[in-house]
Amino acid sequence: DADRESASGSEGQAGDADEDGAAQDPGTSGEAADDGADDAGGDGGDAESAVVAKLVHQLERQGGAGKVWMDGWSSTRLRRFLRRRPGVFVMQPRQGRRFTVRLAERGGGPAPTPKQ
């Protein structure tokens, strides 16, 4: 998909986009309309824990910061999921509507920043 390549191809890392092509930065319209939805797919804590673990694994493979994605999730859903977990993830706006994510502080010093 050409849109997905444009989101990830230039940096050689995993894309920060869904099937629509580009993740949006926090505060994009449309986010509030779904704010009450279950981001983890309706399976409660187990599904949420699995999603958090998958996203953390993606970030750890990138040195603690970078781009993340969940197959089948829109950028709005991913962004909302990340923003609701500030103790785990910190979103960092990038150019245009894109963003990167880093792991929140873990007891001693700041989390790493993404490679540029």
pLDDT, tens digit (0-9, with 9 covering 90-100), for 57-90 = 999 999 999 999 999 999 999 999 999 999 999 9
Global pTM? 0.59
Confidence of residue 42 (pLDDT cuts 50, 70, 90): low
Beta-carbon contacts of residue 116 (< 8 Å; ≥ 6 apart): 11
Quick one: pLDDT band at residue 45, thresholds 50, 70, 90? confident
Q: In which band, very low, low, confident or very high, does the pLDDT at 113 lie, cut at 50, 70 and 90?
A: low
From 94, 90, 102, select the one nearest 10 (Cα to Cα).
94
Q: pLDDT value at position 53?
A: 97
Does residue 114 have a pLDDT over 90?
A: no
Query: Would you mind telling me the total number of residues written for the chain in this entry?
Result: 116
Separation CA 15–CA 98 (nearest Å) = 10
Q: Which amino acid is at 82?
A: L
pLDDT score recorded for residue 30: 40
